[in-house]
Amino acid sequence: MNERGIVAERHEIVFVDGVRTPFGRAGEKGMYWNTRADDLVVKAMIGLLERNPTVPKDRIDDVAIAATTQQGDQGLTLGRTAALLAGLPKSVPGFAIDRMCAGAMTSVTTLAGGIAFGAYDLAIAGGVEHMGRHPMGFGADPNPRFLAEKLVGEEALNMGSTAERIHDRFPQLTKERSDRYAMRSQHKAAAAYDNGKIQPDLIPVAVRSDSGWGLATRDEALRPETTLEGLAGLKTPFRPHGRVTAGNSSGLNDGATVSLLASGAAVKELGLTAKMKLVSFAFAGVEPEIMGIGPVPSTEKALKKAGLSITDIGLFELNEAFAVQVLSLLDHFGIDDEDPRVNQWGGAIAIGHPLASSGVRLMIQLAAQFKEHPDVRYGLTAMCIGLGQGGSVIWENPYYDGKKK
């Protein structure tokens, strides 16, 4: 209660739904080369609204869409332009967000804060990245003081080099472990597709190529044939005789994600279904030269805020920017490389990592897994972030039946 006698009540934050486009390979040979970035996120937003027809469009309080490189067709306040293009009323506002790889995650947590405060009842959060049109850092002009005053090392501006630095710092995180983890990610993603786990939350996108029009219906970068022998022979582009390769890292990708968030009261009023409930979130900074360890302190902070421990987490969706980055978190918390709770349907190494869109992909997959696992109460979505940050969100399973295994 403040000095005016007003009680600040925290409102329940619900993840109602989330969808995404299939993720494509970046570049001229990728399926989205002739598709605009804003059209990708608009297509996803239209799909989200069509899946939730009982949501009054004029009741949506805000739209936050993230992009890492905010220029061209990823510029001009994406949240607002995408909302207008998707057919939302002109009364619905919107804005853009940039926290590099955690853009969509930050879209969610930012709007979640508005819901918790009582300012919002319904909100749309997501992200888009067209790395074919807008390579990471393209057109950026880093302040020369970063290097001249040794605020960061040169390698801090190259994500692959930061992954090599994690290998340096933790010798037990070997290339063989990274390759084995990467191979399993590919195999798990392929099995998830075979079992129809991924497809329900994909919004098909019409695409145009030299051969005519087609329909993007699945992620383009999957390599189910991946073997340890094949991974062992790949080049190490960031360092001679290094350990980081294209095979144990996420690729360059295009794609979009969006989610619908609501207050608990709005869920009841509109007859919506809660797929997840937000428990806590945290962001943390680390040395930019080893940015991949960022999810370790952010997860510790999120757990502390929630009054939980790592043993309370029954499902993990960790972004696989680099295999070594995930392994550093698993080692820190004493979790086995092949723990079945971790990335059950594979991760970004197989599916793709269109930077600012990936945070909501993690949430989409966790939400679907919650429904399959009523024995699990809490889950974690976490990711590393360029320039030395980590982001973590803890979610509660509304299907939890109290019968924890």
- Catalogue all structural domains in the chain, each as residue range(s) with its CATH number: 155-197+279-395 (3.40.47.10)
Q: How far apart are CA 201 and CA 366, in angstroms?
A: 12
Determine whether 227 is exposed, middle or buried from the number of CB atoms within 10 Å of its CB (0-12, 13-18, 19+): middle
* Span 351-365, average pLDDT: 98
* pLDDT digits 0-9 by tens, 247-306: 999 999 999 999 999 999 999 999 999 999 999 999 999 999 999 999 999 999 999 999
- Say whether pLDDT at 2 is over 60: no
Mean pLDDT score of the chain: 95
* Span 211-232, average pLDDT: 96
The pLDDT of residue 280: 98
Catalytic entry in 11, 130, 373, 384: 384
- Say whether pLDDT at 351 is over 70: yes
- Say whether pLDDT at 8 is over 70: no
Q: How far apart are CA 313 and CA 303, in angstroms?
A: 9
- Say whether pLDDT at 7 is over 60: no
- Say whether pLDDT at 405 is over 80: no
Q: Measure Cα distances from 138 to 39, 103, 170, 251 in Å.
A: 21, 17, 31, 17
- Say whether pLDDT at 80 is over 80: yes
Under a CB-based contact definition with an 8 Å cutoff, are residues 181 and 326 in contact?
Answer: yes
Q: Quick one: what percent of the chain has pLDDT higher than 90?
A: 89
pLDDT band of 146, cuts 50, 70, 90:
confident
* pLDDT digits 0-9 by tens, 299-315: 999 999 999 999 999 99
The pLDDT of residue 6: 57
The pLDDT of residue 114: 98
Q: Is 167 a catalytic residue?
A: no
Under a CB-based contact definition with an 8 Å cutoff, are residues 252 and 133 in contact?
Answer: no
The pLDDT of residue 404: 61
The pLDDT of residue 153: 78
Q: Quick one: what percent of the chain has pLDDT higher than 70?
A: 98
The pLDDT of residue 297: 98
The pLDDT of residue 348: 98
- Say whether pLDDT at 1 is over 60: no
The pair of structure tokens assigned to 397 is 């399973």
* Span 5-29, average pLDDT: 89
Q: Tell me the sheet residues that pair with 249.
A: 322
- Say whether pLDDT at 4 is over 80: no
Would the pTM count as exceeding 0.75? Answer: yes
For the four alpha carbons of 289, 333, 340 and 376, in that order, the dihedral sign comes to negative
Catalytic entry in 130, 134, 353, 373: 353
* pLDDT digits 0-9 by tens, 108-143: 999 999 999 999 999 999 999 999 999 888 888 888
Q: Is 130 a catalytic residue?
A: no
Q: Which H or E element spans position 65?
A: strand 62-66
The pLDDT of residue 125: 98
Q: Is 353 a catalytic residue?
A: yes
pLDDT band of 158, cuts 50, 70, 90:
confident
Catalytic entry in 11, 101, 130, 167: 101
Instruction: Write down the residue that tokens 């095979």 correspond to.
Output: 247
Q: Which of 402, 313, 289 is nearest to 366 (CA)?
A: 313
pLDDT band of 210, cuts 50, 70, 90:
confident
Phi, psi of 208 (to 5 degrees): -120, 135
The pLDDT of residue 70: 94
Q: Where are the alpha helices (DSSP H) in 195-263?
A: 228-232
